[in-house]
Amino acid sequence: MSVVRPARPWDYTQQKRDFGQQELQKPQTAPLRDANLEQKLREFMKSREDWKRSRTSIPGVFVVKLPGRGSRGSELALEINPVDG
């Protein structure tokens, strides 16, 4: 009579090997840039006062102009407020 061993639910070594192969097979692509969006953000930086926010096309997501600190200029931040969406 032969002994039947239960199959292991997963093999860590195989899982690790498969994960490594998936990482190697990912295509290297550059992020897409939208010139129109970039221009709108530049205009927002020039025309708005600090701490002003603007709606985006995504409900509950806003762009906020942050004041500069020290030698750094103003920055933009995203505010995510799902309740407002």
pLDDT value of residue 77: 93
pLDDT tens digits for range 12-64: 555 555 555 555 555 556 566 778 888 888 999 999 999 999 998 888 999 99
- Residue that is written with structure tokens 């030698």 in the block: 71
pLDDT value of residue 70: 84
Rounded mean pLDDT, 71-85: 85
Alpha-carbon distance 50 to 65, whole Å?
5
pTM: 0.54
pLDDT value of residue 69: 86
The domain segmentation of the chain, as residue ranges, is: 49-85
User: Is 1's pLDDT higher than 80?
Assistant: no
